[in-house]
Amino acid sequence: MEKRIPYYDLLRAVAILAVLLIHSLNAEINNEISWIVVLVRQLINFAVPLFIALSGYFMVDKVFNAEYTYKMFLQKQISRVYLPYLVWSLPYIFVALYFKGETILNSLYKLLTFQISGIFYYVFLIIQFYIFFPLLKKMTNKRGLVIATLLSFICCLIFFFLKLFLNIDIPLIIYAGNFITWIMFFILGMYLKRNKVSLNNKTLIILIFLSLILELIETKIHFNMLNNIGEAITAVKISSFIYSGLLIILLLKENMVNIKTSKFLESLGQVSYAIYLNHLLVLIFANKIVKLIFMENTLLTQLLVFLITMVVSYLLCIMIKSIDKSRAHKYLGI
């Protein structure tokens, strides 16, 4: 087994913290738009792209042969994400049945279609990358990266125009749960594992800053056209993909691996998948507790919800892991 490199756990920790922050922040505070939240949201829209790029980065070197077949690969990889999904779905189903009044049949349908909670689109998404991996691996070159980038951009444009001109409310599982939307990041991760990018860090930082400005401009345009701040700040837009792609190129450069991390962030990164699966349930209760105590919605209360969600979700994983590490890993993704 290859030695675990702390830097990549740091990246997973940063990505999961960004996910938690995205779900904790609300751009509308007391019926007014908080442009500070809008700015922060654009800064952290790299969360899912980074997770996907890391998947491609560590998967590209897998080789299938008589001893390790494609079927064996699928059985191993899918079970690693699907079993924890099933187990963590149970408390969400309980909440849906007893607090939201959903029927068992409807909950079963949502379980089968990865819609028990909005965040579970990611499980369906990553399974698609596993299934199409042999085909995607052939795109690990400049031409493949360009094609993948164009496909992702086209998806962004299609979804935007469907919302703008046809007023179609596209389900999350469709626009975020299909692998074509995010394909550029999986291919980018694989490409960066095998190829060096000639851009130096200073140039990349300048490009990242410029792409962030572009992202803010597109967000404002989307808001003016759609009149919906939630739609405008989404990560699924071309400028956000450009920003995330450039940031990923910087983060996955070889000279970044030696950056010092902390034991806490390493540990957080190691249980990031389990936190992803359980955090929304924790966040719901954290939100209710904070609102009950402070009786108001401010940026500070939202940050407090984020902090509570992060701490409780992490400690829950660590406690379960300490009881039975092997079963926790197999059934809960810890």
Domain boundary among 260, 286, 311: 260
pTM of the model: 0.94
Residue 15 to residue 4: CA distance in whole angstroms: 18
Per-residue pLDDT reduced to its tens digit, 202-253:
999 999 999 999 999 999 999 999 888 988 999 999 999 999 999 999 999 9
Residues 197, 270 within the same domain: no
* pLDDT recorded at residue 227: 87
On the question of pLDDT at 181 being above 60, the answer is yes
Which range has the worst mean pLDDT, 2-11, 26-35, 257-266, 300-309?
26-35
Beta bridge partners of 33: 28
- The C-alpha angle 133, 138, 140, rounded to 5 degrees, equals 95
pLDDT at 134 over 80: yes
What percentage of residues in the chain have a pLDDT greater than 90? 81
Q: Enumerate the β-bridge partners of residue 28.
A: 33
Tell me, yes or no, whether 210 and 168 share the same domain: yes
Out of 31-40, 93-102, 143-152, 224-233, give the one with best mean pLDDT: 143-152
Question: What does the DSSP assignment read for 57-114?
Answer: HHHTT----SSS-HHHHHHHHHHHHHHHHHHHHHHHHHHHHHTS---HHHHHHHHHTT
The Cα–Cα gap between 288 and 306 comes to 12
| Enclosing domain of residue 288 | 1-44+262-333
Q: Are residues 177 and 256 in the same domain?
A: yes
- 73 and 145 part of one domain: yes
Question: Do 103 and 233 sit in the same domain of this protein?
Answer: yes
Q: In terms of domains, do 66 and 192 share one?
A: yes
Q: What percent of the chain has pLDDT over 70?
A: 99
Whether 33 and 61 map to the same domain: the answer is no
Smallest CA-to-CA distance from 192 within 134, 262, 141 is with 141
- The owner of tokens 């992060």 is 310
Q: Label residue 30 by pLDDT band (50, 70, 90).
A: confident
Counted domains in the chain? 2
Does one domain contain both 174 and 184? yes
Indicate if the pLDDT at residue 183 is higher than 90: yes
Compute the mean pLDDT over every residue in the chain, rounded to the nearest whole number.
Answer: 94
| Local confidence band at 2 (pLDDT 50, 70, 90 cut-offs) | low
- pLDDT exceeds cutoff 60 at 1: no
pLDDT tens-place string over residues 157-176: 999 999 888 888 899 999 99
Tell whether 127 and 216 lie within a shared domain.
Answer: yes
Long-range contacts of 324-331 (CB under 8 A, 24+ apart): 330/83, 331/83, 331/84, 331/87
Helices (H), 166-271: 172-175, 179-194, 201-226, 229-232, 238-251, 263-270
Q: For residue 78, what are its two tokens? A: 């899918």
What three-state secondary structure class fits 32? strand
Domain boundary among 260, 293, 317: 260
- Examine the fold and report which residue of 206, 238, 260 is the final residue of a domain before the chain moves on: 260
Residues 191 and 54 in one domain: yes
Asked whether residue 168 falls in the same domain as residue 213, the answer is yes
| 14 shares its domain with 160 | no
